[in-house]
Amino acid sequence: MSHSSIDTALPQAAQDLLELCGDRKFSTILADPPWQFQNRTGKVAPEHRRLSRYGTMNLAEIMSLPVEQVSADRAHLYLWVPNALLPEGIKVLEAWGFAYKSNLVWHKIRKDGGPDGRGVGFYFRNVTELVLFGVRGKDIRTLQPGRTQVNYLATRKREHSRKPDELYDIVESCSPGPFLELFARGPRKDWTVWGNQAEAYYPDWPTYSNHSQARHNTNAEAEQAEIFATTATTSAQ
């Protein structure tokens, strides 16, 4: 689709996505939407003013993104969804033209391998997060490595909302390219990335010292960040 043929009545996010994709259709899409939580006054909400990490989109806005338009006829979708919003996750997956098939579980662990209970949770202390897996079209199983890939990964948490890089290895081995990441924070080799932090991103709030951009930190900054982390960091679940 050329720039001029994009419907300017569409929401800005939809226009941006269509403009980025042009005529390209993606066989695998990974998305980590900026979900809005019901309890928006609580610190768990990512857009909470005091923490102001990033803006969020409501369910209707997320559902209306033209993901189906940029998907190949036969495609895979990996969709991160907070535990509290599982029903909404299924709705989004279906609105984007996919059928739910399975999920992957991310277990957030400490350095010593135990569950990292530093997050929040209204009913339970969440140490896991889900990636919903959906497909579109016929005969679209995972690639051969998928048949032996377990639906579980255990890694250490990094900054707020940051997801494990290990998931990209799983996606790239189990699903066909071309790959599109929606709501990406930073570029990635062999991927087309979209999102308002897709080009440049650095956490500008106090967080764990092993955050995703930590190689830019001095040791002193990292130690400082770790100190802040013990008092100020929550997780959006």
Ligand X SMILES: C[S@@+](CC[C@H](N)C(=O)[O-])C[C@H]1O[C@@H](n2cnc3c(N)ncnc32)[C@H](O)[C@@H]1O
Contacts of 124-130 with C-beta under 8 Å, sequence gap 24+, read 126/83, 126/235, 126/237, 128/83, 129/80, 129/82, 129/83, 129/105, 129/163, 129/237, 130/80, 130/81, 130/83, 130/86, 130/89, 130/103, 130/104, 130/105, 130/106
As measured in angstroms, the least distance from the Cβ of 147 to ligand X is: 26
Residues at the contact surface with ligand X, assessed by CB under 6 A? 13, 32, 34, 54-55, 57, 161-163, 183, 185, 195-197
**Beta carbon nearer to ligand X, 54 or 228:** 54
**Beta carbon nearer to ligand X, 157 or 163:** 163
Strand partners, 191: 179
Strand partners, 30: 78, 181
Place of tokens 């390219």: 177
**Beta carbon nearer to ligand X, 69 or 74:** 69
**Beta carbon nearer to ligand X, 141 or 187:** 187
Strand partners, 75: 136
The token pair at 105 is 């579980």
Instruction: Output Rg (C-alpha) for the chain, integer angstroms.
Output: 18
As measured in angstroms, the least distance from the Cβ of 182 to ligand X is: 8
**Distance from C-alpha of 95 to C-alpha of 66, rounded to nearest angstrom:** 9
**Beta carbon nearer to ligand X, 34 or 119:** 34
Contacts of 190 (CB under 8 A, 6+ apart): 172, 177, 179
Asked if residues 133 and 78 have their Cβ atoms less than 8 Å apart, the reply is yes
As measured in angstroms, the least distance from the Cβ of 183 to ligand X is: 4
As measured in angstroms, the least distance from the Cβ of 203 to ligand X is: 9
**Beta carbon nearer to ligand X, 13 or 21:** 13
